[in-house]
């Protein structure tokens, strides 16, 4: 253990936490146009914190959407460079009534920071800023660090691709380090070696040209809600396989050996069910829960609406019904192909008495980190140092759509060192990040830089 790091962090830990809380107070919701000024304010705050932490330069790059914050400290161009990626935007906080505390007024209860973005991803990228500060203040930085903190991850990073493609020299590095995922627990550290891809679409089903009285017209005109329900219902068969023709064609089936390894990860089904409050699980026949969320593609309805959804009753046969639908993809599925299959399929199964419009929201490719890459080895050794245990490699269910893009444009490997927990309520009410996990991240990250430098030399 490097004593100087520990001493510096012990003395400054309360300040580290308070700085994060300040950042969490900014409602940087990328999906909502009304929060555009908050997005700008948040980018400026991130830039300011990076400069205070010791980077040499920090810049805000405008895009057609929300700005990207770039910063760097280059101690010697000949030395290894780590590019840290993170995002300062957050998911919308709705449904607000289910939050126990205000989503943008961080509240600490039992050692947990409750706030939208606490874990995903402000709390996690901020660990990297405080790790950098530790290295700079203790004069122990042995490599170059670049930061690319974007503001559109939660809406599919529509403008990051163009930025990366046109700033290849600026972003040049030896590996990319991302903390935007989870580990099993502080007692059982793990590293995500895969993220799933995504195809996120929206469907609009139109029946009559206006809302109708359900008594006068009901039974004689197709109800778009009923038609949409029939379409959605048909998309999983009785074994919960997805029925879109061609959907599974490019899936690389996991080997028996891989599945056996996965089965060794600690998993208590009863505990899992109790935590979620469900009596029975659900999923594709022939696969375990961990396989269903790790190595299999899935299709979920993320939202549905149509007709009267207010208080009381209204006897309406609505003109329109809508759904947001997303698929999670695994290697070697591609987002473009699956999106096309989904959009085409919805047209094909559209009842002829309604009109269906299906459009893409955003997509992203699946990604896998090789276990023999230097970045993975450095991350595993760093966690071993601070946790006292070798981390387990696992395949996560979420998506970080920019991974495939980074690899393609920059030709370098990515490693996911996530310090969140599955129970952190990402994208849900009462998102939280355990303070212990926050500090553990700040403690571990300097070791990653140290070992990666040593292994790359």
Nearer to a copy of itself, 53 or 178 (CB): 178
Which of the residues 287 through 306 are near a copy of itself (CB under 8 A)? 289, 292-293, 296, 298, 300-306
Report the phi/psi class of residue 312: left, alpha or beta, with left for phi > 0 and alpha for psi in -120 to 50: left
109 makes contact with a copy of itself (CB under 8 A): no
- Asked whether the beta carbons of 401 and 394 are under 8 A apart, the reply is no
CA–CA distance, 231 with 354 (Å, rounded to integer): 12
Report how far Cα 208 is from the mean position of its chain's Cα atoms: 38
Among 7, 59, 76, 94, binds a copy of itself (CB under 8 A): 94
From the list 3, 64, 255, 310, which residue makes contact with a copy of itself (rule: CB under 8 A)? 310
List Cα–Cα distances, 313 to 47, 214, 307, 310, in angstroms: 50, 12, 11, 8
Distance set, CA 18 to CA 12, 169, 233 (Å): 10, 35, 47
Contact 388, 183 (CB under 8 A): no
- Please list every residue from 6 through 45 that binds a copy of itself, using CB under 8 A: 30-33
DSSP state of 128: H
Task: Enumerate residues 317-356 that contact a copy of itself by CB under 8 A.
Answer: 317-319, 321-324, 326, 328, 351-354
Q: Is 252 in the site for a copy of itself (CB under 8 A)?
A: no
Closer by beta carbon to a copy of itself, 177 or else 323 = 323
Own/partner pairs, 211-215, CB within 8 angstroms, 24+ separation? 211/307, 211/316, 211/317, 211/318, 211/319, 212/316, 212/317, 212/318, 212/319, 213/315, 213/316, 213/317, 214/315, 214/316, 214/317, 215/315
Decide whether 19 or 38 has the Cβ nearer to a copy of itself. Answer: 38
Rounded CA separation 230/254 (Å): 32
Q: Does 312 bind a copy of itself (CB under 8 A)?
A: yes
61: contact with a copy of itself by CB under 8 A: no
- Cβ atoms < 10 Å from Cβ of 349: 16
Which one of 40-48, 231-239, 253-261, 408-416 is the stretch in contact with a copy of itself (CB under 8 A)?
Answer: 231-239
Residue 278 contacts a copy of itself per CB under 8 A:
yes
> What Rg value do the Cα atoms of the chain yield, rounded?
23
Q: Identify the residue whose tokens are 């490699």.
A: 393
Taking the complex as a whole, how short is the minimal distance between the CB of residue 267 and a copy of itself, in angstroms? Answer: 11
Q: Can 153 be counted among the known catalytic residues?
A: yes
Among 101, 226, 334, 456, binds a copy of itself (CB under 8 A): 226
Catalytic: which of 19, 38, 150, 153?
A: 153
CB of 71 to a copy of itself, least distance (A): 27
Q: How far is the CB of 176 from a copy of itself (least distance, A)?
A: 20
**From the list 2, 60, 222, 251, which residue makes contact with a copy of itself (rule: CB under 8 A)?**
222
Contact between 367 and 404 (Cβ < 8 Å): yes
Per CB under 8 A, the list member of 106, 397, 418, 446 interacting with a copy of itself is 397
- Does 285 help bind a copy of itself (rule: CB under 8 A)? no
Q: Which residues are catalytic?
A: 89, 153
């Amino acid at each position: 253990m490097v004593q100087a790091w520990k001493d510096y962090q012990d003395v400054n830990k309360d300040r580290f936490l308070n700085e994060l809380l300040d950042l969490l107070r900014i409602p940087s919701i990328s999906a909502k146009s009304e929060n555009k000024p908050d997005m700008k304010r948040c980018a400026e705050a991130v830039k300011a914190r990076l400069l205070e932490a010791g980077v040499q330069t920090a810049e805000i790059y405008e895009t057609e959407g929300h700005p990207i914050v770039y910063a760097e400290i280059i101690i010697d161009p000949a030395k290894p460079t780590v590019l840290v990626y993170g995002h300062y935007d957050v998911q919308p906080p709705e449904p607000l009534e289910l939050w126990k505390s205000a989503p943008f007024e961080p509240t600490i209860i039992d050692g947990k920071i409750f706030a939208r973005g606490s874990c995903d991803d402000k709390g996690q990228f901020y660990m990297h800023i405080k790790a950098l500060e530790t290295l700079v203040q203790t004069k122990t930085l042995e490599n170059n660090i670049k930061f690319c903190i974007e503001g559109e991850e939660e809406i599919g990073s529509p403008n990051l691709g163009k930025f990366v493609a046109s700033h290849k020299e600026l972003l040049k590095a030896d590996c990319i380090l991302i903390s935007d995922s989870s580990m099993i627990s502080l007692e059982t550290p793990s590293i995500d070696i895969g993220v799933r891809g995504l195809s996120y679409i929206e469907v609009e089903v139109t029946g009559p040209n206006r809302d109708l009285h359900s008594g006068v017209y009901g039974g004689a005109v197709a109800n778009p809600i009923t038609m949409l329900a029939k379409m959605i219902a048909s998309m999983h068969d009785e074994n919960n396989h997805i029925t879109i023709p061609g959907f599974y064609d490019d899936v690389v089936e996991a080997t028996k050996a891989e599945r056996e390894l996965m089965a060794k990860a600690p998993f208590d089904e009863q505990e899992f069910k109790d935590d979620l409050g469900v009596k029975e699980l659900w999923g594709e026949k022939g696969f375990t829960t961990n396989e269903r969320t790790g190595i299999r593609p899935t299709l979920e309805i993320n939202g549905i609406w149509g007709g009267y959804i207010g208080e009381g009753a209204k006897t309406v046969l609505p003109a329109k019904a809508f759904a947001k639908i997303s698929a999670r993809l695994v290697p070697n599925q591609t987002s473009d192909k699956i999106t096309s299959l989904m959009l085409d399929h919805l047209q094909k199964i559209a009842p002829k008495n309604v009109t269906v419009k299906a459009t893409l929201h955003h997509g992203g490719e699946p990604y896998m980190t090789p276990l023999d890459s230097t970045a993975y080895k450095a991350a595993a050794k760093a966690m071993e140092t601070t946790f006292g245990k070798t981390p387990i490699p696992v395949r996560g269910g979420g998506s970080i759509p920019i991974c495939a893009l980074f690899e393609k444009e920059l030709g370098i490997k990515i490693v996911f060192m996530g310090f969140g927990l599955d129970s952190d309520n990402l994208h849900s009410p009462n998102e939280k990040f355990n303070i212990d996990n926050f500090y553990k991240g700040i403690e571990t990250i300097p070791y990653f830089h140290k070992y990666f430098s040593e292994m790359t030399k």
